[in-house]
């Protein structure tokens, strides 16, 4: 069984934490992954830095730029992740954009993901039609889940199609905006969460974008299986990337 499926079978109030590979320092990737697991994160989402991200806010964009300046590439990331499964047992996803994956080679990319123990991929700019035609076969052959995103503007018909074609979970984007830590729950979000929850989808859901503290995390957990936190954790790494700092951060989010 894919590790993502196992977590949703065993856990509630799942915390998935995003961080950028190669940030703050090039060799920090596996160290931060291990620290997050020890701190109590249930799932990890490792960002593959890209110079032209479409869904990332300024905090994550800045971390990606610094990681690229540090020398992070997809090949470098796979080299780092060779030792991942010696230290990390929770699910690990890679999040990135389709152009670098195409340049690397989709079959080669999936083979490397399987080799190092990647469980799922989040590629926000990968169209459904292109995924079904060119990617799905490679993903499924290697047991890798493809995670689609939905937003408040996504139609019910589209959500049900995504549910049909998804594996692992559905990424419920909390608002029609880029990533970024926001205080509190914005107007209209609860109605949107309720609408998605009432659809009785087959796949579990995690809410992301704007999850920044214990309040927003617990609110998300009332309407989904858990939440994804990214920008707030990148800010934590800016201030204190030590194991102790990471542990305090996760504890404060989960409560």
pLDDT of residue 59: 87
Whether 52 has a pLDDT exceeding 70, the answer reads no
More confident residue, 113 or 175: 113
Nearest-CA neighbor of 91 among 220, 2, 207, 202? 2
Q: Considering the chain, what is the average pLDDT of its residues?
A: 93
How many Å apart are CA 17 and CA 15, to the nearest integer?
6
The phi and psi torsions of 223 (rounded to 5 degrees) equal -115, -5
CATH of range 3-254; options 3.20.20.70, 3.30.70.2190, 3.40.50.2300, 3.30.460.10: 3.20.20.70
pLDDT of residue 19: 98
Whether 167 has a pLDDT exceeding 80, the answer reads yes
Identified catalytic residue from 45, 69, 141, 157: 45
Handedness of CA 53, 56, 58, 64 (dihedral sign): negative
Helix, strand, coil: what percent of the chain each, to 5? 50, 15, 35
Average pLDDT over residues 154-181: 84
| 47: helix, strand or coil | strand
Identified catalytic residue from 27, 56, 119, 137: 56
How many Å apart are CA 36 and CA 17, to the nearest integer?
8
pLDDT in tens, 115-157: 999 999 999 999 999 999 999 999 999 999 999 999 999 999 9
Whether 237 has a pLDDT exceeding 60, the answer reads yes
CB 148 within 8 A of CB 128: yes
Supply angle C-alpha 119, 141, 33, rounded to 5. 15
Residue ranges per structural domain of the chain: 3-254
User: Per this entry, what is the length of the chain?
Assistant: 255
In the residue annotation, 45 being an active-site residue is answered as yes
Cβ count near 58 (within 10 Å): 11
| 18: helix, strand or coil | strand
DSSP 225: S
pLDDT of residue 129: 95
Strands (E), 21-90: 43-47
How many Å apart are CA 192 and CA 214, to the nearest integer?
20
Supply angle C-alpha 157, 162, 168, rounded to 5. 150
In the residue annotation, 107 being an active-site residue is answered as no
């Amino acid at each position: 069984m894919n590790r993502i499926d196992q977590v949703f079978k065993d856990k509630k109030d799942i915390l998935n934490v995003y961080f950028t590979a190669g940030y703050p320092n090039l060799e920090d990737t596996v160290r931060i992954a291990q620290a997050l697991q020890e701190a109590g994160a249930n799932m990890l989402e490792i960002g593959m830095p890209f110079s032209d991200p479409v869904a990332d806010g300024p905090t994550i964009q800045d971390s990606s730029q610094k990681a690229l300046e540090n020398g992070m590439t997809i090949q470098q990331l796979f080299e780092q992740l060779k030792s991942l499964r010696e230290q990390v047992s929770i699910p690990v996803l890679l999040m990135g954009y389709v152009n670098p994956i195409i340049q690397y080679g989709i079959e080669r990319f999936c083979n490397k993901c399987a080799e190092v123990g990647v469980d799922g991929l989040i590629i926000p700019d990968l169209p459904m039609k292109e995924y079904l035609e060119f990617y799905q076969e490679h993903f499924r052959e290697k047991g890798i889940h493809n995670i689609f995103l939905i937003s408040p503007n996504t139609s019910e018909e589209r959500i049900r199609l995504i549910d049909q074609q998804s594996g692992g979970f559905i990424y419920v984007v909390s608002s029609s905006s880029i990533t970024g830590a926001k205080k509190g729950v914005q107007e209209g979000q609860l109605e949107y969460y309720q609408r998605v929850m009432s659809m009785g989808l087959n796949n579990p859901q995690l809410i992301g974008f704007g999850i920044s503290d214990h309040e927003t995390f617990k609110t998300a957990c009332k309407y989904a299986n858990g939440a994804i936190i990214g920008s707030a954790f990148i800010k934590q790494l800016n201030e204190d990337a030590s194991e102790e700092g990471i542990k305090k951060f996760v504890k404060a989010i989960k409560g």
